[in-house]
Amino acid sequence: MNQNRQVVDTFWYFVQERQRILERRVEGRPAPWTKDPILQDNRFCNTFRAADRECQYLIRSIQYSEEAEQSSLEDIIFRTVAFRLFSKHETWERITECLIHQPTVHDLASGEFLHALEWADARLGTLYTSSFMLCGVKSYGPVNRKYETHERLLRHMFVNDELGKRIQDLPSMQDTAALLAEYPLIGRFMSYQIATDINYSTATDFDEDEYVLAGPGAVRGIEKMYGGRPRGRTYEDVIRDLRYTQLSNTDSSFLGLYGRPLQLIDIQNCLCETDKYLRASMPELSPGKRIKRRYHRNFEPLSLFFPPKWGINRALPQNAAL
């Protein structure tokens, strides 16, 4: 099945130009950071998932904070899963403010975590981001607010089932995602995303290229590449092909994430973002579709921090890793 070469080229263009925007910001260059009007005016995730704002908050302020150094791996896994259910750092800050510390499994068991959610909700109005469509089905009985269902889910996972301990004994990321997917309200794709989040921490250390799952946006991006479902291959096969041909499809000046090449999770995410980009650059492929979120330029200095086990923080521009 032949590829639409223009779409493939657009994918590799997006991968490189979106990363260059990030690098220019980190280096402190003045805006605009690109001449591309689509990238100037619309909001896109970063080329590398770990560089996105909420992932950065998770890594820096939860998984590798000073408090985390004194925390159990069970608590770090609990915090990671709980944070991703909301994917909103303001929510986490209010929870922490109420508890006067990062939440623990003990807080979940005692009811203090639920109290902190109530306290945060009263001050924020909503605890959730628009980035993920989180299911609010009442799998744990009738509730007044969606966060009560997710608190019961977390209690099921970490108090009743001791999930934080079980995950530490699993041999692979795929097994981690499969275990997470067994729980209500968390589908296969969300489970893959959470397994990736946990793997940023010190709790697990799997190869990110071991496992991938194509989400809805990536599926749309791939189908634009092939004019439909690729015959004789899975969507994940296509993602792997893109991952392992990146050197031949990118400029010699593209150094990845400060020396770290694109992983399967990054290819997956970029396919989703390319699908959005194509709504503006090739609207005939997405009749009636548009990019929903506009970009509001932020001139604040941008610093980055990645899992120390990756060994790339020392490659960041001077003063960038703060």
Same structural domain, 308 and 224: yes
Following DSSP, what letter does each residue of 48-76 receive, concatenated? SGGGSHHHHHIIIIIISSHHHHTS-HHHH
Same structural domain, 215 and 193: no
Structure tokens at 173: 């990321």
Same structural domain, 234 and 257: yes
Same structural domain, 189 and 238: no
Among residues 154, 175, 200, which one ends one of the domains? 200
Say if 58 falls within a structural domain: no
Say if 258 falls within a structural domain: yes
Among residues 200, 234, 253, which one ends one of the domains? 200
Same structural domain, 234 and 300: yes
Same structural domain, 10 and 32: yes
Same structural domain, 43 and 70: no
Same structural domain, 79 and 178: yes
Domain tally, the chain: 2
Same structural domain, 37 and 77: no
Instruction: State how far the Cα of 284 lies from the Cα of 277, in Å rounded to an integer.
Output: 12
Same structural domain, 155 and 196: yes
Written as tens digits, the pLDDT of the chain (322 aa) is: 688 999 999 999 999 999 999 999 999 999 999 999 999 999 999 999 999 999 999 999 999 999 999 999 999 999 999 999 999 999 999 999 999 999 999 999 999 999 999 999 999 989 998 765 555 566 787 777 889 999 999 999 999 999 999 999 999 999 999 999 999 999 999 999 999 999 999 999 999 999 999 999 999 999 999 999 999 999 999 999 999 999 999 999 999 999 999 999 999 999 999 999 999 999 999 998 988 888 777 767 789 999 999 999 999 986 554 4
Q: Own/partner pairs for 277-282, CB < 8 Å, 24+ apart? A: 277/10, 277/14, 277/38, 277/39, 277/44, 278/7, 278/10, 278/221, 278/224, 280/38, 280/42, 281/10, 281/38, 282/6, 282/7, 282/10, 282/224
Instruction: State how far the Cα of 49 lies from the Cα of 183, in Å rounded to an integer.
Output: 24
Same structural domain, 84 and 39: no
Sign of CA dihedral 110, 115, 117, 118: positive
Q: How much is the pTM?
A: 0.95
Say if 322 falls within a structural domain: no
N-to-C CA span, the chain: 47
Say if 55 falls within a structural domain: no
Say if 205 falls within a structural domain: no
Q: Which domain holds residue 250?
A: 5-49+211-315
